[in-house]
C-alpha cells in the first residue's frame, strides 16, 4: 500500500506540472486575441476566419449528418450588441439521392424527398421562413420578426434549385434565398437567367450576391474583391429588379480587406459558414449559418 500511495502522489504532482505548462501559456496568449465575458468570447476577424476555414476543410465525404447543434448561449447585449435567435440553414444541391450519386455530388446534396420532409417539419413546428433582408433589417432597424423565424439559403445557383426546391417552396408557400455566383449562370449544372427571373417574380425567392466567378474574396487583394462584388451585384440587380445589398462568402472565406470592399459597395450584411443560431449586429458582416444534411431537423436543435 505504501508503494501505491507514493505512485499516486507522484502521478498527481506530474499531472499538476503538465496542466500548468498547458494553461499558463494559453491564458497569456488568449489575452492578446480574445476578450472573455461570462464564458463567451469575442474574437477578432482573423480568428473567426481561421475558425471558418477549419470548419470548411473538415467537411465529410458524405452529407448524412448534421453540424453539431450550436449552444444556445445567453447573449449579453452590452457586449454583443443587438441580437436575435434566428437559425440560418445552408444548402447547396437538393436532388434525388440517386442523381447525387450519379453526379458524384453527395457531399453537397440533400435528398429532395428529405428536403420536403424538413420543410414540412418547419411548418408543423410553427417556423416562419423569412428573407435575408428581413433578418438584416431586424438587426439594423430593430424591425420585429415572427417569433420563430428561420432563413433558408441555397448557395451557388444550381439548377436543382428550380427543378426541386422551387416546387416545394410553392407547395408550402415559404420563402428561400438563393446565393448566386452570376458568372456561372447558364452553365450546364446552373440556373438560367430566365429561371432566376421567374422565381424572383413569385415573391418567394430572394437573391444574394455570391460574387461573379465564385471567387474567394479574401485572396487577390482589394481590387479583385471589389470587381467580383460589383459585377455580381450589378448583374443580379439587372435581372431580378431586387436591390442586392446582402452578400454570401464563397467557401466561407473572408478577411478585413474583403469586408472593407463589401462595405464600400454598400453591402449591409454578409453570411459566413460559421455555425450558430444567434445573429448580432456586432458581427453583421459575418452572420452565422448551419449546414444541413440528410437528417431530421430535430437533430439540429430545431
The verdict on 75 and 29 lying in the same domain is no
**C-alpha separations of 251 from 61, 92, 231, 262, 302 in Å:** 16, 12, 18, 16, 25
Say if residue 166 is in the same domain as residue 189. Answer: yes
- Domain co-membership, 144 together with 209: yes
For residue 62, pLDDT over 80 is answered with no
Q: Are residues 51 and 87 in the same domain?
A: yes
Q: Are residues 83 and 25 in the same domain?
A: no
Q: Where are the beta strands (DSSP E) in the chain?
A: 34-37, 40-43, 83-85, 88-91, 93-95, 109-111, 128-129, 149-156, 176-180, 205-209, 246-248, 269-271, 278-280, 290-291
CATH number of the domain encompassing residue 195:
3.20.20.370
Tell me the chain's radius of gyration from C-alpha atoms.
22
- The reply to whether 201 and 284 lie within a common domain is yes
Phi/psi for 51 (5° steps) reads -65, -45
C-alpha cell of residue 246: 446582402
Instruction: Please check whether residues 7 and 114 belong to one and the same domain.
Output: no
Lowest mean pLDDT among 41-55, 121-135, 236-250: 41-55
231's CB contacts (< 8 A; 6+ apart) are 182, 183, 211, 212
Mean pLDDT of 11-17: 45
Same domain, 105 and 31: no
Burial of 66 (0-12, 13-18, 19+ CB in 10 A): buried
> What's the pLDDT score for residue 78?
56
- pLDDT above 70 for 42: no
Task: Write down the mean pLDDT value for the chain.
Answer: 82
pLDDT > 90? residue 19 = no
Give the per-residue pLDDT at 77.
Answer: 53
According to the model, what pLDDT value does residue 168 have?
98
The pLDDT assigned to 40 comes to 33
Model confidence at 156: pLDDT above 90: yes
What's the distance, Cα to Cα, between the start and end of the chain in Å?
Answer: 54
Ramachandran area for residue 70 (φ above 0: left; ψ -120 to 50: alpha; else beta):
beta
Instruction: Judge if 83 and 200 occupy the same domain.
Output: yes
280 with 131, same domain: the answer is: yes
Residues 1 and 61 in one domain: no
The residue behind cell 430566365 is 194
> Cell 499538476 sits at which residue?
16
Composition of the chain by helix, strand, coil, percent to 5? 50, 20, 35
CA angle, 289 as apex, 68 and 142 as ends, to 5°? 125
Instruction: List the domain range (segments joined by +) for residue 184.
Output: 46-300
pLDDT of 59 higher than 90: no
Q: How far apart are alpha carbons 194 and 248 in whole angstroms?
A: 22
CA distance 195 to 221: 33
| pLDDT number for residue 80 | 80
Per the structure, the count of domains in the chain is 2
pLDDT digits (tens, 9 = 90+) for 104-113: 999 999 999 9
- Dump pLDDT digits (tens) for 221-239: 999 999 999 999 999 999 9
21 plus 140 within the same structural domain: no
Q: With H, G, I as helix, E, B as strand and everything else as coil, classify residue 143.
A: coil
Amino acid at each position: 500500500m505504501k508503494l501505491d500511495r507514493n505512485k499516486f502522489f507522484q502521478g498527481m504532482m506530474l499531472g499538476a506540472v503538465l496542466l500548468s505548462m498547458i494553461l499558463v501559456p494559453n491564458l497569456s496568449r488568449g489575452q492578446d486575441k480574445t476578450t472573455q465575458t461570462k464564458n463567451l468570447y469575442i474574437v477578432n476577424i482573423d480568428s473567426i476566419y481561421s475558425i471558418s476555414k477549419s470548419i470548411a476543410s473538415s467537411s465529410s465525404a458524405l452529407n448524412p449528418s448534421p453540424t453539431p447543434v450550436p449552444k444556445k448561449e445567453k447573449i449579453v447585449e452590452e457586449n454583443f450588441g443587438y441580437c436575435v435567435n434566428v437559425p440560418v440553414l445552408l444548402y447547396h444541391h437538393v436532388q434525388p439521392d440517386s442523381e447525387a450519386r450519379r453526379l458524384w455530388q453527395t457531399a453537397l446534396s440533400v435528398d429532395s424527398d428529405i428536403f420536403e420532409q424538413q420543410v414540412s417539419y418547419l411548418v408543423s413546428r410553427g417556423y416562419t421562413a423569412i428573407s435575408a433582408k428581413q433578418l438584416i433589417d431586424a438587426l439594423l432597424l430593430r424591425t420585429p420578426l415572427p417569433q420563430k423565424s428561420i432563413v433558408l439559403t441555397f448557395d451557388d445557383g444550381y439548377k436543382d434549385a428550380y427543378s426541386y426546391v422551387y416546387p416545394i417552396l410553392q407547395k408550402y408557400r415559404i420563402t428561400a434565398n438563393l446565393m448566386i455566383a452570376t458568372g456561372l449562370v447558364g452553365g450546364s449544372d446552373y440556373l438560367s437567367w430566365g429561371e432566376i427571373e421567374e422565381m424572383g417574380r413569385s415573391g418567394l425567392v430572394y437573391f444574394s450576391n455570391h460574387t461573379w466567378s465564385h471567387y474567394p474574396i479574401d485572396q487577390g487583394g482589394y481590387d479583385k474583391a471589389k470587381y467580383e462584388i460589383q459585377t455580381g451585384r450589378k448583374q443580379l440587380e439587372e435581372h431580378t429588379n431586387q436591390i442586392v445589398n446582402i452578400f454570401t462568402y464563397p467557401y466561407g472565406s473572408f478577411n478585413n480587406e474583403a469586408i472593407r470592399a463589401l462595405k464600400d459597395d454598400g453591402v449591409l450584411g454578409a453570411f459566413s459558414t460559421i455555425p450558430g443560431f444567434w445573429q448580432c449586429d456586432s458581427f453583421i458582416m459575418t452572420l452565422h449559418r448551419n449546414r444541413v444534411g440528410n437528417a431530421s431537423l430535430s437533430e439540429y436543435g430545431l
